[in-house]
A = this chain, B = another copy of it.
Amino acid sequence: MAKEKRISLKDVANSVGVSPTLVSIVLNGKAKQYRIANEMAEKVIKTAMEMNYSPNLIARNLRGGKTQLIGLIVTDISNPFYSAIARIVENRANELGYTVVFSSSDEDLGNTKKLIDVLLSKGVDGLIIVPCDGSEDIIKNLHDSNTPLVLIDRNFPDLDVSFSCLNNYKATELTTKHLIEQGYENIALVGYKTGMNHILDRIKGYEDTMNAAGLGKYIQEKKVNLLNTKVEMSSVLDVLVNKKKVEAIIFLTNMLAVTGLYCLKEMNVRIPEDVAVVGFNRNDVFNLFSPTITYIRQPLELIGAQAVNILVDKINHGELEIKAMTYSEPQLVVGASSLRRINN
The interface of chain A, by Cβ under 8 A from chain B, is 1-4, 54-59, 61-62, 67-69, 76-80, 82-84, 86-87, 90-91, 94, 99-104, 117-123, 144-146, 258, 261-262, 265, 283-285, 287-290
Cross-chain contact B83 with A146 (CB below 8 angstroms): no
Q: How far is the CA of A306 from the CA of B4 in the complex (A)?
A: 27
Cross-chain contact A4 with B145 (CB below 8 angstroms): yes
Cross-chain contact B287 with A284 (CB below 8 angstroms): no
Q: Which residue of B lies closest to A293 (CB)?
A: B288
Cross-chain contact A1 with B146 (CB below 8 angstroms): yes
Pick the contact of A78: B58, B87, B117 (CB < 8 A): B87
Pick the contact of A2: B80, B146, B287, B290 (CB < 8 A): B146
Cross-chain contact B101 with A100 (CB below 8 angstroms): yes
Cross-chain contact B83 with A80 (CB below 8 angstroms): yes
Copies in the complex: 2
- Min Cβ gap A326→B in Å is 21
Q: List 14 A-B contacts (CB under 8 A).
A: A3-B146, A57-B121, A59-B62, A67-B122, A77-B83, A77-B86, A77-B87, A78-B84, A83-B83, A90-B102, A99-B118, A102-B102, A262-B288, A265-B288
Q: How far is the CA of A35 from the CA of B144 in the complex (A)?
A: 42
Interface centre among A54, A99, A103, A283 (most CB of B within 10 A): A99
Cross-chain contact A58 with B285 (CB below 8 angstroms): no
Q: How far is the CA of A89 from the CA of B301 in the complex (A)?
A: 26
- Min Cβ gap A61→B in Å is 5
- Min Cβ gap A149→B in Å is 12
